[in-house]
Structure 1
Amino acid sequence: MCQKKLISLFLLFLSPFTKAELLVDVLDTTTWGGSTYYLLDKSTWDDAQSTAIALGGNLVTINNAEEHIFINETWGGFSGSEYAMTYLWIGLNDEDNEGEFTWISGEEVTYTLFTSGEPNGGENENQVYMWYRSAAYAGYWNDFDGSRGVDYYDGVYGVVEVVDDPTGLSSAANITDLPSPHVGIFFLSFLAYQARRRSPLNQQPHADDACDY
C-alpha cells in the first residue's frame, strides 16, 4: 500500500511536465543542422505556436540563408515535395512592439528576407509567413494577420523547430517545463529504498506494515 502511494506521488509530480495534446496535426518531420523540424497542418499562428510548444520547441527561427534554403527545398511551394505548401508560418512577429520583429524563441534576429515593400501591415499584421505564389519571390517573407491561417487561400502551415541540444541557444526559450533530472532520480531512489526496506529479508517479526514516513 505504501509503495502504491509513493508511485502515485511520483506520477503526480511528473504530470505537469507531460506534453499537452496537439492542437494541430503534424504532417511531416525531418532533421537538419542539429534540430528536428515538423510541418503542421494549416492553422492560425497562435495554434501553430501552441502546438510547437507541446512538441518541445517553437515556430521556426531562421538564423541564416542556409536554413532558409533548407526550408524552401523541404516544404516550399516549388520544392516538388509531397508537402509543398504555398504559405508557411515562421516564428518572427512584432506582437509586443509594432515594427520591432523578434523571434518567438527569443533568439537574436540575424537574418530576414522580407519581400520588397514588406513588412507593411501595421498593427493588423503581426505574424510572418514565407510565401510561394510567385517563383521570382519564392520563400520571401510577408507580415500577416495570424488569425487567418485556416481560410486564407489553401491555408498557412506552421514550421516547428525543436533544437536537439538547446543548451547552446542564446535563449533558453526552447526549454519549457522540464523538471530537474536530479529530482526524478531522488524519487526513484526513494522508491527503491522503501522497497528494499520492506523486503521480507529486512523485516523483523510482527513488523508494523503501516507507513511510517
Structure 2
Amino acid sequence: MRYKYVSESDAPQTDKKTQQLYDVFDNLNLDNIEIPNILDVGGSSTGHSLKLAKRLSSKTSQITLLDISADSLNAARPIYTAEKNITTTFEHGDFKSFFPNTQYDLTLCLGLLYCISEDHAFVSAINKMANALQAGGLLITRDGLTDVEHKIYMAFGGVIRNRNMYQRAFYDAGFELIDSREFTIETPIKRDIATCVWRKLPDNEK
C-alpha cells in the first residue's frame, strides 16, 4: 500500500522513507519471540505493520491496528484479514484514549509524535508507549529532527523537534536507542528524517 496522506513537500521522499524503514525491519532480531504481538499506531493507510509481520520468517503474528480514521481501517481490513498467518485486531480511536489489556513485543509509531505540538502531551505519549511494551520490547519511530534548539512548525501541521530534546524524552521513559537511520530533506524546511528503534529497558538494566 502507498501512503494515503502525504504533504506535497514530502511526496517525493515517500519511497526513500519506506526503504529506510524496511532496512530497519531487516535488521531486527525477534528470533526469541514465538508469536510476535505488534501494535501499529495510526498506520492503517501504510501497511507497514503487515510488511513487518510478513518479514518475520514463517512465524504467526498478532497485530493491533489503531487508527483515528475509520475509512483507513475499513480500507485496510480486507488486506490484513487475507493473511492467514496474521491475526489482526482493528481499533478505531486515538492513542490517548486507547488502553490495551496486554503488552506488546513491538510498537510502530510512524506519524503520531510528529503531530503532537505540546511538549507535555508528547512526553505522555512516549511514556504510554513504554507502558504498553513488554520489558525488552521494541518501539520504532519516525520523525523530523533538527539541531535548532526550538521546535519548528510545518505549514501542514507537523512538528520538527530538537534532536537532543527528542531523544531525552525516550531515555527518561526507560528506552535505549539501538538503531537509527537518517536522511535529510532540504525544502521547504531543512530537517532530518530519523527512523529509530528503541528498546524498553528491563528494570534490572535501568
Measured against the shorter chain, the TM-score band is under 0.3
Higher strand share: 2
Could you state the TM-score of these two structures normalised by the residue count of structure 2?
0.27
Could you state the TM-score of these two structures normalised by the residue count of structure 1?
0.26
Say which one has the larger Rg: 1
